[in-house]
Amino acid sequence: MDGQGMNQTAELIGGAAESPAAAAARLSGGTAGPEALRPLVDQVLAGLGAGALRRGGPIVPGEPAAVAAAVRAALAQAHGPGALGQLTELLAYGAADPADPHCAAHLHCPPLAVAVAADLAVSALNPSQDSWDQAPAATALESELLAELAELVGFHPDRAAGVLTTGGTESNLMGLMLARDQRLGPDVELNGIPAGVRPRVLASEAAHFSVQRAAALLGLGERAVRAVPVDRELRMDPAALADAFAEAGWEGATPVAVVATAGTTDTGAVDPLHAVADLAARHGTWLHVDAAYGGGALFSKRLAPLLDGLDRADSVSLDWHKLGWQPAAAGVFLAREARTYASLARRAVYLNPADDEEAGYPSLLGQSLRTTRRPDAFKLAATLRVLGRDGLGALVDRCHENALRAAAIVRRTPELELHCDPVLTTVVFRYAVADPAESDRRNAELRRHLLRAGRAVVGRTELPGRGPGRVRLKLTLLNPHTTEAELASLLHAVVEAGENA
Amino acid sequence: MDGQGMNQTAELIGGAAESPAAAAARLSGGTAGPEALRPLVDQVLAGLGAGALRRGGPIVPGEPAAVAAAVRAALAQAHGPGALGQLTELLAYGAADPADPHCAAHLHCPPLAVAVAADLAVSALNPSQDSWDQAPAATALESELLAELAELVGFHPDRAAGVLTTGGTESNLMGLMLARDQRLGPDVELNGIPAGVRPRVLASEAAHFSVQRAAALLGLGERAVRAVPVDRELRMDPAALADAFAEAGWEGATPVAVVATAGTTDTGAVDPLHAVADLAARHGTWLHVDAAYGGGALFSKRLAPLLDGLDRADSVSLDWHKLGWQPAAAGVFLAREARTYASLARRAVYLNPADDEEAGYPSLLGQSLRTTRRPDAFKLAATLRVLGRDGLGALVDRCHENALRAAAIVRRTPELELHCDPVLTTVVFRYAVADPAESDRRNAELRRHLLRAGRAVVGRTELPGRGPGRVRLKLTLLNPHTTEAELASLLHAVVEAGENA
């Protein structure tokens, strides 16, 4: 078009005589978009600052019911142009903010400002990656980023295939879906799970619960997942994996996939990838590696060797909203061989007609479980250009060093008991109480005590096994700016809460 | 904490002596976040403006290979602090911008600036809705918004349940998953699809292809989906649905679900919801209504009656990144009865331990297929407070009126042929050519001609059936600011391209 349309739109929405309804209906795109966004972004930045000041700590203090009542009241009162700032202040006040050094519970990272700003560009333009003509540059950009990441994990970039995902849960689902469709016959997509098949998915006891969820979703059933025992650090025991294969053989079951974990949620343990890959190869079974957490170690020269053998996986999950400091979502699924990546191929006449493909129009539709899809690749691509791989590696190293420092503090604190040495950036420990049931109660309660006081957000988990005495606390250290003094203060708060709980 | 940590962080990252690496590593959260974001947001807004000016039209002109080469070159050159602005300009230059009146191909809306700004707050704070202690206020806010939306579709807010999703594809998958797990027995999650079952999903020929995808993913097989014939406007024929139920009965197959569409992608047609609900009820079969597109009509007093009967669905898909002007993703899944929503219940000891729930800590983990999950509810809640339901309804009405205007222009243009009257905001037509094969070739080629010239982004689809002559063009009108003159200019461009193709 000739620009006339944009000028008319600018007239319609701009000028002194603009009505409140017209102002509220301004769009973020086109040449007028930045000016429409500027005052609203100012409202948001002011609301973020005011909310953080009012919160004054890592998490909003108080009981969940009180927070819910405040949200209800704010939603009932807010209306008109100022509502954006009011609701932003509410969201910031009512947050658990991982940028606060005392917020260290989950694989919930404090995002880099550069990644957040890049994500604003994506929201404003709203490209959707289900067809080229909704996302010309974004389509090419995702392909380029995936080739870089394939090389990072040791795959051949020209042979690998992949997609950005909403996270490890979706990536693990995709890995198991490809494994299912490969192993149970090419017809499973068309005709469903063949009758009489008894599928098995072999994963460690410490594998993420999304593996069970994926098996249930895929129609294999959760019980298809067999939990392979782990050592104290929560690494899969390869001898036990060999036993699980043998058991499947005796029972006439079909091993569909082995899932190895590179960075368990709790201890950051990495399964012995070469030993697992050897067994998977011997049995002709798909190997999916869940590196949602541990994948970040690939940026660190010091930690990358932990993931040696990752290049032998058939498919891999990576999550840059964990050790990559991206706002959610920034998941990645990669398959080593593009030819195994056929399950999702679909022809939608309104999105990827055959004659468009012949004319050179690429389509990412067959890469994803989704249709409409935001280009989450952009923020990571921008972050990699601004910081570089080494810059991200330095942040990984700082968090790793903080885990070592925190473990050292736990070791020298008599009230606390370390579970095992940190592998990546988590520290698993407990407030030491001799009676197992009382230990569980006290640790669970002290964590809620810290939440209610708005003083700290500490993780809580349970070791594998049965019976009492397994509840543990956890620091998940993802803030590269946290100092040793702050770690000491955080652990001091845990001790105080343990005494009072 | 006492504020000491944040001050130390501010020292570490602020001040005149800040190194480039420290500047690049600034976080978006905490009290220092807004100041870290401001210069980066300025870079992004400048890049968006410069890219839109350089593009100068609805889509980057040229072949996909040229766009890909430009992206590769930019990624190779960009590094350091300025890379964010450079890459943003690239993304904007290389966009198909739905804020331009000549970009009207897909259900790909131009977002409202207010929704985009609200999304920035979400990115900056990075709440994750898989546990309360990652998203205290966001957890409550999603529940409140879902209650409002349940009421909007006619469900009882206290009895309904739901979740924000990545879009209609995920929502349709969830509906079919609940249907599968209800109909094939409570054990299907644990033990997989029972042997010997022959499942059926009944959906119209014009239902979204994600229904087939969902059946394949769920282990039912694509062939479980039976395509029920439609009328010219692409509405499901209830007599044909009755036949499909009878056929399933003769074959001993199990009808797992009926999927009705409220707003087909091409014509916006709404299946006869009451007639379909009557048949589903008679056969005791789950009714899922895909209102991903048509749901927006609920905001319009004029169009809402089209969706009469929606309240009889067992589950519903809604997408506010279509007729709701949100940046992707803003999907919603709703189930009428919370008790049917059990498939995803999981106990993850590190996310929703039983004693936390007893202590009043709510968990949304069991509502979603995902684990990490961005609060997409926030931008829609903010939009609803700033514009109101009526404000959104006015935008829906303007797009509907534009569809009627565009159809009138098509009718009076001898070179063009209208397929049927617009229902919502799409117009299906073709450049009229007598020979069916030549008609298909000419219409497909004229669309690519407009893309290559950077002149217009027009949709292309195919009518149901077999053989040549089914290719059609489509305008999907989602820009409420588009004028009648712009519609005329867009259709004039189509005619010119048809003459030259």
A167 has a chain B CB within 8 A of its CB:
yes
Q: How far apart are CA A425 and CA A423, in angstroms?
A: 7
- For residue B396, the model assigns a pLDDT of 98
Per-residue pLDDT band for B11 (boundaries 50, 70, 90) equals very low
In the numeric block, the tokens 């379909």 are attached to B276
B53 has a chain A CB within 8 A of its CB:
yes
DSSP codes of every residue in A66-131: HHHHHHHHHHHH--STTHHHHHHHHHHHT-B-TTSTTEESSS-PPPBHHHHHHHHHHHHH---TTS
Residues of chain B found within 8 Å of residue A143, distances taken between Cβ atoms = 68
B168 has a chain A CB within 8 A of its CB:
yes
| Mean pLDDT (chain B, rounded) | 95
Residue in B with minimal Cα distance to A101: B5
Residue in B with minimal Cα distance to A184: B219
Q: Smallest Cα–Cα separation from B483: which of B225, B100, B208, B25? A: B100
First-last CA distance in chain A: 68
Q: Contact A59/B133, CB-based, under 8 Å?
A: yes
Give the best residue of A128, A176, A290 to mutate against chain B (max B CB count within 10 A). Answer: A128
Q: How far is A52 from chain B (nearest CA, A)?
A: 5
Q: How far apart are CA A217 and CA A205, in angstroms?
A: 20
Which CATH code of 3.40.640.10, 3.50.50.60, 1.10.10.10, 3.30.70.260 fits the domain covering B154-186+196-384? Answer: 3.40.640.10
Q: Where in chain B is the domain with CATH 3.40.640.10?
A: 154-186+196-384
Q: Contact B9/A481, CB-based, under 8 Å?
A: yes
Q: How far apart are CA A307 and CA B336, in angstroms?
A: 46
DSSP codes of every residue in B102-142: TEESSS-PPPBHHHHHHHHHHHHH---TTSGGG-HHHHHHH
Verify cis geometry, omega within 30 degrees of 0, for the bond prior to B224.
Answer: no
Q: How many CB pairs under 8 A join A and B?
A: 641
Q: How far is A249 from chain B (nearest CA, A)?
A: 19
Q: Residues in chain A with pLDDT < 70? A: 1-17
A343 has a chain B CB within 8 A of its CB:
yes
- For residue B7, the model assigns a pLDDT of 39
Q: How far is A351 from chain B (nearest CA, A)?
A: 8
In the numeric block, the tokens 């008609």 are attached to B439
Residue in B with minimal Cα distance to A463: B349
Kindly tell me if the per-residue pLDDT of B3 is higher than 90: no
Alpha-carbon torsion B324, B327, B333, B334, what sign? negative
Q: How open is the CA angle A165-B66-A147, to the nearest 5 degrees? A: 35
Q: Smallest Cα–Cα separation from A276: which of A203, A220, A172? A: A203
- For residue A6, the model assigns a pLDDT of 39
ipTM of the complex: 0.96
The DSSP bridge partners found for residue B461 are B472
Per-residue pLDDT band for B84 (boundaries 50, 70, 90) equals very high
Q: Which of B92, B372, B385 sits opposite A125 (nearest CB)?
A: B92
B175 has a chain A CB within 8 A of its CB:
no
Q: Which of A91, A188, A448 sits opposite B125 (nearest CB)?
A: A91
B3 φ/ψ angles, rounded to the nearest 5 degrees: 95, -15
Give the best residue of B165, B350, B373, B483 to mutate against chain A (max A CB count within 10 A). Answer: B350
- For residue B483, the model assigns a pLDDT of 98
Cβ distance A291 to A317 under 8 Å?
A: yes
Cβ distance A463 to A419 under 8 Å?
A: yes
Residue A171 to residues A324, A383, B350: CA-CA distances in angstroms? 16, 22, 20
B196 has a chain A CB within 8 A of its CB:
yes
**Helix, strand, or coil (residue A255):** strand
Q: How far is A272 from chain B (nearest CA, A)?
A: 24
Number of other residues whose CB lies within 10 A of the CB of residue A429: 24
- For residue A342, the model assigns a pLDDT of 81
pTM, two decimal places: 0.96
The amino acid that residue B410 corresponds to is V
Burial class of residue A278 in the structure, from the number of CB atoms within 10 Å of its CB (0-12 exposed, 13-18 middle, 19+ buried): middle
Residue B426 to residues A128, A486, B473: CA-CA distances in angstroms? 19, 57, 10
B434 has a chain A CB within 8 A of its CB:
no
B489 has a chain A CB within 8 A of its CB:
yes
Q: Which of B144, B350, B485 sits opposite A71 (nearest CB)?
A: B144
Q: How far apart are CA B266 and CA B253, in angstroms?
A: 31
Q: Smallest Cα–Cα separation from A253: which of A225, A227, A289? A: A225
Strands annotated E in B262-407: 286-291, 315-319, 331-335
Kindly tell me if the per-residue pLDDT of B146 is higher than 50: yes
Q: How far apart are CA B371 and CA B110, in angstroms?
A: 29
Phi-psi category of residue B154: left, alpha or beta, with phi > 0 → left and psi -120 to 50 → alpha: left
The amino acid that residue B90 corresponds to is L
User: Which H or E element spans position B459?
Assistant: strand B457-462
Interface of B with A in 89-148 (CB under 8 A): 90-102, 105-128, 131-141, 143-144
Residue in A with minimal Cα distance to B49: A31
Per-residue pLDDT band for B16 (boundaries 50, 70, 90) equals low
B378 has a chain A CB within 8 A of its CB:
yes
Q: How far apart are CA B359 and CA B362, in angstroms?
A: 9
Interface of B with A in 27-46 (CB under 8 A): 27-31, 33-34, 36-38, 40-41, 43-46
Q: How far is B373 from chain A (nearest CA, A)?
A: 7
A311 has a chain B CB within 8 A of its CB:
no
The amino acid that residue B381 corresponds to is A
Q: How far apart are CA B129 and CA B145, in angstroms?
A: 14
Q: How far is A310 from chain B (nearest CA, A)?
A: 23
Cβ distance B402 to B427 under 8 Å?
A: no
Q: Which residue would you say has higher pLDDT here, B189 or A305?
A: A305
Q: Contact B24/A140, CB-based, under 8 Å?
A: no
- What average pLDDT does range B465-476 have in this prediction? 96
Give the best residue of B75, B108, B125, B142 to mutate against chain A (max A CB count within 10 A). Answer: B125
The per-residue pLDDT for range B104-135, each reduced to its tens digit, is 999 999 999 999 999 999 999 999 999 999 99
User: Which H or E element spans position A474?
Assistant: strand A471-476
Q: Contact B461/A350, CB-based, under 8 Å?
A: yes
Q: How far apart are CA A448 and CA A428, in angstroms?
A: 17
Q: Contact A27/B192, CB-based, under 8 Å?
A: no
Q: How far is B283 from chain A (nearest CA, A)?
A: 23
B225 has a chain A CB within 8 A of its CB:
no
Measured in whole angstroms, the distance separating CA B346 from the mean position of its chain's CA atoms is 27
- What average pLDDT does range B9-30 have in this prediction? 74
A237 has a chain B CB within 8 A of its CB:
no
- For residue A16, the model assigns a pLDDT of 55
Q: Contact A111/B27, CB-based, under 8 Å?
A: yes
Residues of chain B found within 8 Å of residue A327, distances taken between Cβ atoms = 28, 122-124, 126, 374
Strands annotated E in A267-310: 286-291
Q: Contact B49/A70, CB-based, under 8 Å?
A: no
Q: Smallest Cα–Cα separation from A30: which of B486, B149, B494, B269? A: B486
Q: What is the dihedral of CA A133, A348, B443, A127, to 10 degrees?
A: -10
B84 has a chain A CB within 8 A of its CB:
yes
Q: Contact B138/A112, CB-based, under 8 Å?
A: no
Number of other residues whose CB lies within 10 A of the CB of residue B498: 22
A232 has a chain B CB within 8 A of its CB:
no
Q: Contact B385/A102, CB-based, under 8 Å?
A: no
- What average pLDDT does range B408-430 have in this prediction? 98
Sheet (strand B331-335) strand order: B161-165, B331-335, B315-319, B286-291, B254-261, B199-204, B225-228
> Comparing A237-246, B192-201, B473-482, which segment has the lowest mean pLDDT?
B192-201
Interface of A with B in 448-487 (CB under 8 A): 448, 451, 455-457, 459-462, 474, 479-483, 485-486
Q: Contact B137/A486, CB-based, under 8 Å?
A: no
DSSP codes of every residue in A299-362: G-TTTGGGGTTGGG-SEEEEETTSTT-PPS--EEEEES-GGG--TT----TTT--HHHHHTT--
Burial class of residue A37 in the structure, from the number of CB atoms within 10 Å of its CB (0-12 exposed, 13-18 middle, 19+ buried): buried
Residue in B with minimal Cα distance to A383: B84
B240 has a chain A CB within 8 A of its CB:
no
Per-residue pLDDT band for B9 (boundaries 50, 70, 90) equals very low
Which residues lie below 8 Å from residue B269, measured CB to CB, with a gap of 6+?
B206, B230, B233, B234, B235, B261, B263, B423
